[in-house]
């Protein structure tokens, strides 16, 4: 019962932390890009620029995109134009969005969930790929640099002196592409492992997917959980460790597809996973765990306050390291592979295509290893933290 509750809490906790965080966080990089692009061209007038200024910028941006945009033909001699296409393609692959784009014109809209003077739920198709204003119950909303702002019927966006939008932003709980993949992966894992469990009712010999999954489950139990947590307590954490391992691994593998899925490369998701590990560790902590933090036994009394400060800093550093390690490794892998593929397009030469293609295939295989390695490292560190929390010491 405890293990089932732990697994359920893991998924509920992930959704609680990551859904609003992903929805609010996925446009931050675009906001920084916007500031860098407009900081030098902003006029010295008051604190707002009306719609005609934004339209002028959008016209210039569209003109640039027509020549150098995603999916447009750019002559091989236009190196800078091809660099712009590669940059836009990489950003498109990494970015979150309010619709799920598959390939070409194929895709489907996702539900937009806003809290603005009441709950408002509608399809992202109303935005027409971000080109239209959505009217819902008399309120108007527009997508601007991957964020939803409240506006008027004309879609007016006003700016401050730093060219940041001043329009009101509703509280956003939308099912974005990353959130959709989190839900999809949770459902997929539920039915996958439910089916594997059913096969053991008739025989203890694994069948179907169980033949592949059982060695991994046994490995996590015998090589991670028991050595780091101990035989007395490891069963309490097995469901969480298995959930976190397969959840991260499967999402990492999904990120290797051309679908533009970048869930574990979104820092809001990795923060949520790290915070769940952190809270489970602290709530599991026994008296010895807290004693070793605040009043370390076996050391001179004068050193104990200093060690307490160091241990408290360590409490913060541990979830931070879990967050950055997973986020940075997966994001960097996507950027490197797509950038090398982009070099083939930039050089437009068979001489460059052959070595770069070989290098890309090598890095792709290496990234498949990294996908499993990062899931293993996260699970291993989580088990170490749990083991430290429940460890019992003999003080003499």
Structure tokens at 8: 């359920």
Give the pLDDT of residue 395. 52
Which residue is listed with tokens 């750019």? 74
Give the pLDDT of residue 242. 95
Give the pLDDT of residue 74. 76
- For residues 111 and 126, give the distance between their C-alpha atoms in angstroms, rounded to a whole number: 10
pLDDT by residue (tens digit) across 92-150? 777 788 888 887 778 889 999 999 888 999 999 888 877 888 888 888 999 888 889 99
* Pairing relationship of beta strands 99-103 and 106-109 according to DSSP bridges: antiparallel
Percent above pLDDT 90 for the chain: 35
User: What band does 4 get if pLDDT is binned at 50, 70 and 90?
Assistant: very low
| Domain ranges within the chain, ordered by starting residue | 2-18+179-390, 49-176
Q: How many Cβ atoms are within 10 Å of 216's Cβ, its own excluded? A: 15
Please check the confidence at residue 163 and state whether its pLDDT lies above 50: yes
Q: CB-based contacts of 136: which residues, under 8 Å, 6+ apart? A: 114, 120, 122, 126
Burial class (CB in 10 A: 0-12, 13-18, 19+), 210: buried
Which residue is listed with tokens 């893991």? 10
pLDDT by residue (tens digit) across 246-294? 999 999 999 888 887 889 989 999 999 999 999 999 998 888 888 878 8
The beta-strand segments (E) located in the chain are 99-103, 106-109, 111-115, 119-123, 134-136, 139-144, 147-151, 171-172
Give the pLDDT of residue 43. 42
Q: Collapse the DSSP code of 105 into the 3-class scheme (helix H, G, I; strand E, B; otherwise coil) and give the result.
A: coil
Q: Collapse the DSSP code of 147 into the 3-class scheme (helix H, G, I; strand E, B; otherwise coil) and give the result.
A: strand
pLDDT by residue (tens digit) across 193-234? 998 888 888 888 888 888 899 999 999 999 999 999 999 899
Burial class (CB in 10 A: 0-12, 13-18, 19+), 319: buried
Higher pLDDT, 125 or 22: 125
Residue 110 backbone class (left: φ over 0; alpha: ψ -120 to 50; beta: rest): beta
Contacts 24+ apart (CB under 8 A), 4-9: 4/239, 6/236, 6/237, 6/239, 6/240, 6/280, 7/239, 7/240, 7/242, 7/243
- For residues 70 and 64, give the distance between their C-alpha atoms in angstroms, rounded to a whole number: 11
Which residue is listed with tokens 């009712």? 201
Give the pLDDT of residue 71. 52
3-state helix, strand, coil in the chain (%, to 5): 65, 10, 30
Q: How many Cβ atoms are within 10 Å of 60's Cβ, its own excluded? A: 11
- For residues 207 and 199, give the distance between their C-alpha atoms in angstroms, rounded to a whole number: 7
pLDDT by residue (tens digit) across 50-104? 434 444 444 444 444 444 445 556 776 667 777 887 788 777 777 788 888 887 7
Give the pLDDT of residue 76. 65
Q: Collapse the DSSP code of 9 into the 3-class scheme (helix H, G, I; strand E, B; otherwise coil) and give the result.
A: helix
C-beta of residue 378 within 8 angstroms of C-beta of residue 244 = yes
Higher pLDDT, 168 or 90: 168
Residues in the chain: 396
Taking alpha carbons only, the member of 5, 8, 14, 1 closest to residue 264 is 14
Identify the helix (H) or strand (E) that includes residue 384.
helix 350-390
Average pLDDT, the chain: 80
């Amino acid at each position: 019962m405890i293990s089932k509750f732990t697994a359920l809490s893991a998924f509920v906790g992930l959704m609680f932390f990551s859904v609003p965080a992903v929805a609010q966080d996925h446009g931050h990089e675009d906001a920084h890009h916007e500031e860098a692009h407009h900081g030098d061209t902003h006029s010295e007038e008051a604190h707002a620029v009306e719609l005609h200024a934004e339209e002028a910028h959008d016209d210039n941006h569209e003109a640039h995109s027509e020549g150098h945009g995603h999916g447009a033909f750019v002559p091989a001699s236009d190196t800078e134009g091809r660099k712009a296409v590669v940059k836009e393609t990489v950003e498109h692959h990494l970015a979150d969005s309010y619709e799920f784009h598959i390939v070409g014109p194929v895709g489907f809209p996702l539900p937009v969930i806003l809290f603005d003077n009441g709950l408002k739920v509608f399809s992202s198709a109303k935005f027409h790929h971000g080109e239209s204003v959505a009217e819902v119950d008399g309120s108007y909303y527009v997508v601007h640099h991957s964020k939803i702002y409240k506006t008027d019927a004309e879609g007016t966006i006003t700016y401050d002196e730093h060219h940041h939008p001043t329009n009101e932003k509703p509280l956003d709980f939308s099912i974005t592409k990353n959130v959709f993949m989190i839900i999809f992966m949770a459902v997929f894992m539920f039915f996958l492992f439910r089916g594997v469990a059913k096969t053991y009712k008739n025989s203890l010999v694994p069948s179907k997917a169980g033949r592949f999954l059982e060695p991994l489950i046994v490995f996590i139990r015998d090589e991670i959980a028991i050595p780091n947590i101990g035989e007395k307590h490891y069963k309490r954490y097995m469901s969480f460790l298995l959930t976190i391992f397969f959840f991260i691994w499967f999402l990492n593998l999904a990120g290797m597809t051309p679908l533009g899925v970048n869930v574990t490369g979104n820092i809001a998701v990795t923060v949520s996973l790290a915070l769940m590990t952190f809270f489970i560790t602290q709530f599991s902590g026994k008296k010895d765990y807290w004693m070793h933090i605040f009043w370390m036994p076996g050391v001179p009394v004068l050193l104990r306050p200093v060690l307490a400060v160091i241990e408290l800093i360590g409490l913060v550093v541990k979830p931070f390291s879990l967050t950055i390690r997973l986020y940075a490794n997966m994001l960097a892998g996507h950027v490197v592979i797509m950038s090398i593929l982009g070099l083939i397009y930039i050089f437009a030469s068979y001489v460059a295509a052959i070595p770069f293609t070989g290098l890309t295939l090598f890095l792709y295989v290496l990234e498949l290893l990294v996908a499993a390695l990062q899931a293993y490292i996260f699970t291993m560190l989580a088990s170490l933290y749990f083991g430290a929390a429940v460890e019992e010491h003999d003080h003499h």
